[in-house]
């Protein structure tokens, strides 16, 4: 079964996406946008699958794991690793192929190594990027967006006293 595969990520102006296994910012409206995009389905009988690396999984506060209303999948190299409320896989292809007909779309949500793997896939449908117009102290970075996606579509943005950002979509 074929599914649309998307990456969704927020990055600062230096493509920073994380620091010490956590988000280096707290932007409530951007978190709501992430939740809305990754939970919305056209078919109310279906849900979306989200794929994340172990570090990203562990960065989600335990009361919020698994991320609700989505099938959660964790990628890890450790064959003993257990993610309560999520399935674990050791390979991105296995994780993607775990999506059955109850799944509408697949969203890869991080981190850096997982984004690198999904950006190399020819079947990646699109990338949702929240571009944060600040720089932060980061130790994890978003790989370069593949040139095959061209220029992004601006889906809007927000600004408050602390930060401004734009929601961009890179599609094929």
Which of the following is catalytic: 2, 13, 23, 67? 23
Which burial class, exposed, middle or buried, applies to 35 when counting CB atoms under 10 A from its CB (0-12, 13-18, 19+)?
middle
Tell me the sheet residues that pair with 11. Answer: 131
Has 129 been annotated as catalytic?
A: no
Q: Which residues contact 167 (CB under 8 A, 6 or more apart)?
A: 33, 128, 129, 130, 154, 155, 156, 157
Has 30 been annotated as catalytic?
A: yes
Which of the following is catalytic: 13, 30, 42, 92? 30
| Radius of gyration of the chain measured on its C-alpha atoms | 15
Active site residues: 23, 30
């Amino acid at each position: 079964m074929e599914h649309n595969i998307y990456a969704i990520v927020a990055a600062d102006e230096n493509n920073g996406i994380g620091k010490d296994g956590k988000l280096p910012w707290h932007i409530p409206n951007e978190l709501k946008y992430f939740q809305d995009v990754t939970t919305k389905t056209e078919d109310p009988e279906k849900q979306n699958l989200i794929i994340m690396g172990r570090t990203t999984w562990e960065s989600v506060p335990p009361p919020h794991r698994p991320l609700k209303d989505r099938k959660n999948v964790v990628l890890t190299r450790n064959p003993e690793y257990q993610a309560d409320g999520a399935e674990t896989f050791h390979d991105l292809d296995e994780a993607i192929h775990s999506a059955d007909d109850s799944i509408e779309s697949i969203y890869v949500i991080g981190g850096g190594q997982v984004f690198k793997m999904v950006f190399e896939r020819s079947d990646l449908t699109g990338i949702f990027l929240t571009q944060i117009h600040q720089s932060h102290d980061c130790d994890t970075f978003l790989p370069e967006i593949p040139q095959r996606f061209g220029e992004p579509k601006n889906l809007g943005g927000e600004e408050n006293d602390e930060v401004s950002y734009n929601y961009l979509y890179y599609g094929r």
